[in-house]
Amino acid sequence: MNRAAMCAGTFDPITMGHLDVIERASRIFPRVVIAVATNPGKNLLFSLEERIELVRESTTHLNGIEVDAFDGLLVDFAESKEVRVIVRGMRAFSDFEYEFQMALTNRKLKPQIETLFLMPKQDYSYVSSSNVREVARLGGDTSLFVPPPVQEALRKRFG
Protein backbone atom coordinates (compact mmCIF):
# COMPACT_ATOMS: atom_id res chain seq x y z
CA MET A 1 0.00 0.00 0.00
CA ASN A 2 1.22 3.46 -0.84
CA ARG A 3 1.29 6.78 0.99
CA ALA A 4 -2.36 7.59 0.67
CA ALA A 5 -5.14 8.74 2.94
CA MET A 6 -8.91 8.60 2.80
CA CYS A 7 -11.38 11.25 3.91
CA ALA A 8 -14.90 9.89 4.13
CA GLY A 9 -18.30 11.38 4.71
CA THR A 10 -21.73 11.96 3.32
CA PHE A 11 -20.74 15.48 2.19
CA ASP A 12 -24.36 16.67 1.98
CA PRO A 13 -23.00 19.21 1.21
CA ILE A 14 -19.24 19.54 1.51
CA THR A 15 -18.42 22.43 3.85
CA MET A 16 -15.42 24.68 4.40
CA GLY A 17 -14.63 22.51 7.45
CA HIS A 18 -14.53 19.37 5.28
CA LEU A 19 -12.43 21.21 2.73
CA ASP A 20 -10.00 22.42 5.39
CA VAL A 21 -9.42 18.86 6.61
CA ILE A 22 -9.02 17.60 3.03
CA GLU A 23 -6.50 20.38 2.28
CA ARG A 24 -4.52 19.52 5.42
CA ALA A 25 -4.53 15.83 4.49
CA SER A 26 -3.33 16.68 0.96
CA ARG A 27 -0.31 18.48 2.44
CA ILE A 28 0.63 15.32 4.33
CA PHE A 29 -0.25 12.65 1.77
CA PRO A 30 0.45 12.75 -1.98
CA ARG A 31 -2.81 10.88 -2.68
CA VAL A 32 -6.11 11.54 -0.91
CA VAL A 33 -9.21 9.53 -1.74
CA ILE A 34 -12.42 11.31 -0.83
CA ALA A 35 -14.97 8.59 -0.14
CA VAL A 36 -18.53 9.81 -0.54
CA ALA A 37 -20.92 7.57 1.38
CA THR A 38 -24.09 6.46 -0.37
CA ASN A 39 -26.05 6.53 2.94
CA PRO A 40 -29.43 5.43 1.57
CA GLY A 41 -30.93 5.57 5.09
CA LYS A 42 -30.37 9.32 5.44
CA ASN A 43 -32.72 11.99 4.14
CA LEU A 44 -30.24 13.65 1.79
CA LEU A 45 -30.53 17.02 0.06
CA PHE A 46 -28.27 16.10 -2.86
CA SER A 47 -28.08 12.87 -4.83
CA LEU A 48 -24.91 10.78 -4.73
CA GLU A 49 -23.94 12.01 -8.19
CA GLU A 50 -24.48 15.65 -7.16
CA ARG A 51 -22.45 15.23 -3.98
CA ILE A 52 -19.57 13.62 -5.88
CA GLU A 53 -19.61 16.43 -8.45
CA LEU A 54 -19.71 19.13 -5.74
CA VAL A 55 -16.73 17.53 -3.99
CA ARG A 56 -14.83 17.33 -7.29
CA GLU A 57 -15.60 20.98 -8.14
CA SER A 58 -14.62 22.09 -4.64
CA THR A 59 -11.23 20.33 -4.71
CA THR A 60 -9.95 21.24 -8.19
CA HIS A 61 -7.24 23.42 -6.64
CA LEU A 62 -5.67 20.39 -4.92
CA ASN A 63 -3.32 17.79 -6.40
CA GLY A 64 -3.59 14.05 -5.83
CA ILE A 65 -7.32 14.03 -5.07
CA GLU A 66 -9.58 11.16 -6.11
CA VAL A 67 -13.32 11.21 -5.45
CA ASP A 68 -15.30 7.99 -5.34
CA ALA A 69 -18.54 6.64 -3.90
CA PHE A 70 -18.60 3.84 -1.38
CA ASP A 71 -21.11 1.63 0.33
CA GLY A 72 -20.36 -0.77 3.16
CA LEU A 73 -17.47 -0.72 5.59
CA LEU A 74 -15.06 2.16 5.19
CA VAL A 75 -12.06 0.00 6.12
CA ASP A 76 -12.94 -2.46 3.35
CA PHE A 77 -13.19 0.39 0.86
CA ALA A 78 -9.89 1.84 2.10
CA GLU A 79 -8.21 -1.52 1.66
CA SER A 80 -9.64 -1.87 -1.88
CA LYS A 81 -8.15 1.55 -2.73
CA GLU A 82 -4.78 0.63 -1.17
CA VAL A 83 -5.15 3.27 1.53
CA ARG A 84 -3.65 2.75 4.99
CA VAL A 85 -4.76 5.94 6.73
CA ILE A 86 -8.29 7.18 7.32
CA VAL A 87 -8.38 10.89 8.11
CA ARG A 88 -11.23 12.07 10.30
CA GLY A 89 -12.05 15.66 11.10
CA MET A 90 -12.88 16.41 14.68
CA ARG A 91 -14.72 19.69 15.15
CA ALA A 92 -15.44 19.67 18.85
CA PHE A 93 -15.27 17.53 21.94
CA SER A 94 -18.79 16.31 21.12
CA ASP A 95 -17.36 14.49 18.06
CA PHE A 96 -14.77 12.66 20.15
CA GLU A 97 -16.79 9.78 21.58
CA TYR A 98 -18.31 8.73 18.27
CA GLU A 99 -15.02 9.10 16.37
CA PHE A 100 -13.05 7.30 19.07
CA GLN A 101 -15.44 4.32 19.04
CA MET A 102 -15.37 4.20 15.25
CA ALA A 103 -11.56 4.32 15.16
CA LEU A 104 -11.30 1.46 17.66
CA THR A 105 -13.86 -0.60 15.74
CA ASN A 106 -11.99 0.00 12.48
CA ARG A 107 -8.71 -0.94 14.16
CA LYS A 108 -10.25 -4.22 15.32
CA LEU A 109 -11.56 -4.98 11.83
CA LYS A 110 -8.41 -3.94 9.92
CA PRO A 111 -5.43 -3.38 12.24
CA GLN A 112 -3.21 -2.39 9.30
CA ILE A 113 -5.32 0.73 8.69
CA GLU A 114 -4.67 3.71 10.95
CA THR A 115 -6.99 6.58 11.86
CA LEU A 116 -5.60 10.09 11.92
CA PHE A 117 -7.62 12.89 13.54
CA LEU A 118 -7.27 16.42 12.19
CA MET A 119 -8.96 19.49 13.56
CA PRO A 120 -10.28 22.06 11.12
CA LYS A 121 -9.43 25.71 11.55
CA GLN A 122 -11.18 27.26 14.51
CA ASP A 123 -13.29 29.32 12.09
CA TYR A 124 -14.92 26.10 10.87
CA SER A 125 -15.14 24.13 14.10
CA TYR A 126 -18.87 24.73 14.44
CA VAL A 127 -19.85 24.25 10.78
CA SER A 128 -21.90 21.17 9.94
CA SER A 129 -23.68 20.11 6.78
CA SER A 130 -27.02 20.03 8.60
CA ASN A 131 -26.56 23.64 9.80
CA VAL A 132 -25.63 24.72 6.27
CA ARG A 133 -28.74 23.04 4.84
CA GLU A 134 -30.92 24.83 7.40
CA VAL A 135 -29.36 28.24 6.72
CA ALA A 136 -29.82 27.72 2.97
CA ARG A 137 -33.39 26.48 3.37
CA LEU A 138 -34.26 29.62 5.33
CA GLY A 139 -32.66 31.90 2.73
CA GLY A 140 -29.50 32.77 4.66
CA ASP A 141 -26.04 33.50 3.30
CA THR A 142 -23.94 30.32 3.15
CA SER A 143 -20.81 31.93 1.68
CA LEU A 144 -18.86 31.64 4.94
CA PHE A 145 -19.66 27.94 5.30
CA VAL A 146 -19.36 26.31 1.86
CA PRO A 147 -17.20 26.67 -1.26
CA PRO A 148 -18.63 28.54 -4.29
CA PRO A 149 -19.85 25.45 -6.23
CA VAL A 150 -21.94 24.44 -3.21
CA GLN A 151 -23.28 27.98 -2.76
CA GLU A 152 -24.55 27.87 -6.32
CA ALA A 153 -26.07 24.39 -5.90
CA LEU A 154 -27.84 25.52 -2.72
CA ARG A 155 -29.16 28.64 -4.47
CA LYS A 156 -30.56 26.48 -7.27
CA ARG A 157 -32.06 23.99 -4.83
CA PHE A 158 -33.77 26.54 -2.59
CA GLY A 159 -34.41 29.29 -5.12
Query: What is the C-alpha to C-alpha distance for residues 87 and 64, in angstroms, rounded to an integer?
Result: 15
Active site residue 61: no
User: Residue 136's beta-bridge partner residues?
Assistant: none
Told to judge if 155 belongs to the known catalytic residues of this protein, a careful annotator would answer no
Task: Give me the domains of the chain, ranges plus CATH numbers.
Answer: 4-126 (3.40.50.620)
User: Among this protein's residues, is 42 annotated catalytic?
Assistant: yes
> Does residue 127 have a pLDDT over 80?
yes
Q: Which of 75-79, 80-84, 112-116, 118-122 has the lowest mean pLDDT?
A: 118-122
To the query of whether residue 121 is one of the catalytic residues in this protein, the response is: no
Catalytic residue among 58, 81, 129, 133: 129
Task: Give the residue-averaged pLDDT of 110-137.
Answer: 93
Provide the pLDDT for residue 116.
Answer: 96
Query: Pairing between strand 114-118 and 85-89?
Result: parallel
Fill in the DSSP letter of residue 81.
Answer: T
> Looking at 42, 61, 137, 155, which residue is catalytic?
42
- Helix residue spans in the chain (DSSP H): 16-28, 48-58, 74-80, 93-109, 129-137, 148-158
**In this predicted model, what pLDDT tens digit does every residue of 77-109 receive, in sequence order?**
999 999 999 999 987 777 788 889 999 999 999
Catalytic residue among 31, 81, 88, 91: 91
